[in-house]
Structure 1
Amino acid sequence: MGDDNNWLWSYVETIPSDTGEGQRLIKELLTQLELAQWASHDSFGIHLAAEEAIVNAIKHGNKQDPNKSVHVDMRVSKQEVMIHITDEGPGFDPQAVPDPTLDENLDVPSGRGVMLIKAYMTDVQYNEQGNSVRMTKTRSN
């Protein structure tokens, strides 16, 4: 994916480790998806994935440390949405997260976010350290 995408909206901000700030960004993202006329089922998935990624960055990555922040880069075009979230935590190994659909993990709270993100987004990539996730969604017809 090159930068030839005609982004209608791009937004870059570094927010404090505060879920309220995360919610504010997600609200803005949803407004932009609506303006770009994304279908509600796509918007729903993007909303869930963005929320999981931002909340995970704040709670798990930065452990809600007020001195740490989360870098958010979001872009919306008619065909694609790109969301890139980076926290200041030590990172994690997405491969090592327990599969929440297995019986023995049904009571384990972790892993659902990672699975949700993969389920709803077209492409999901974590950096080597595991403290940054870049996800894209291509509009379904």
Structure 2
Amino acid sequence: MPHRWADFITPSTLQLSPLLEVLLEPISCAQQMASLQLGLQEVLVNAVRHGNGNDPGKCLRVRRIVTPRWWVFQVQDEGCGVPADARCGALPQEPDALCGRGLFLIHSCFDDVRWSARGNRVQVALRRQ
């Protein structure tokens, strides 16, 4: 199978179910579907809430890339970006911390997580089974 990609631009809202359905449409493996759905939901929610500040006037850009070995998703928001020192996938030290669990989930759901230099675009990838 050759590489296939699709680009999506959507308003920045938390109405993410229709977008998730479209993004996950080519996935048939149930186990990978669950991981991808959880991880992508977290990536998209973070982009809407933290990146675009819940501003529906801003957009999310999403690219889905399907290769013979990988499911790859790039999500870009219009925000300032995640600082380099805050991109780790560790759980926060305090159990009642208001943030940090999302990045832990993202790192747990994907085999590869990469950030743009600015930090407002993340690429997540899961090796296909």
Query: What is the TM-score when the length of structure 1 is the normalising length?
Result: 0.80
Deviation at 1:131, TM superposition (A): 0.8
CA distance, structure 2, for counterparts of residue 69 and residue 29 of structure 1 = 16
1:134 maps onto 2:128 in alignment? no
1:44 maps onto 2:49 in alignment? no
Deviation at 1:50, TM superposition (A): 0.8
Deviation at 1:100, TM superposition (A): 2.5
User: Quick one: percent identity of the two aligned structures?
Assistant: 27
Q: Trace 1:1-141 onto structure 2 (pairs within 5 A).
A: 6-7=2-3, 9-20=4-15, 22-34=16-28, 38=29, 40-93=30-83, 95-96=85-86, 99-100=90-91, 102=93, 105-140=94-129
Deviation at 1:54, TM superposition (A): 0.8
SS of the residue 1:115 aligns to: helix
Larger Rg: 1
CA 94–46 in structure 1, closer or farther in 2 if over 3 Å, else same: farther
SS of the residue 1:109 aligns to: coil
Deviation at 1:106, TM superposition (A): 1.0
CA 42–94 in structure 1, closer or farther in 2 if over 3 Å, else same: farther
Amino acid at match of 1:129: R
Deviation at 1:29, TM superposition (A): 2.5
For structure 1, the 5+ residue unaligned runs are none
Query: What is the TM-score when the length of structure 2 is the normalising length?
Result: 0.87
- Larger helix percent: 1
Q: Contact (CA 8 Å) 1:86, 1:131: kept in 2 or not?
A: yes
Greater than 3 Å deviation, 4+ residue runs: none
Q: Deviations over 1:93-118 (max 9, x none)?
A: 2532684253xx21113111111111
For structure 2, the 5+ residue unaligned runs are none
Deviation at 1:128, TM superposition (A): 1.5
SS of the residue 1:119 aligns to: helix
Amino acid at match of 1:15: T
Corresponding residue pairs, total: 128
